[in-house]
Amino acid sequence: MELESRITSPCTGVCRIDQESGFCAGCLRTIAEIRAWRSMGDKEKLQVLQLLNVRQVSKH
């Protein structure tokens, strides 16, 4: 039996997809990343979190 991941979702509860960028206004994930999060392994989740850091820096 696989243990639940300790990597928590970056969801902030502000769930609005920006039509121009395609990213959620709260967590900066795409719809595909949001949908897939629960089925991702830790390695994939860490890759998404790294992408979010890049998106955050690019946003400013």
pLDDT per position as a tens digit, 10-43 = 999 999 999 999 999 999 999 999 999 999 999 9
Residue 28 within any structural domain of the chain: yes
Cα separation of 3 and 20, whole Å?
37
Question: Is 9 inside a domain boundary?
Answer: no
Distance CA 52, CA 47 (A): 9
Domain span at 42: 16-60
Whether residue 52 lies inside any domain: the answer is yes
Give residue 1's pLDDT band: very low, low, confident or very high (50, 70, 90): very low
Domain total of the chain: 1
Residue 44 has pLDDT above 80, yes or no: yes
Whole-model pTM?
0.86
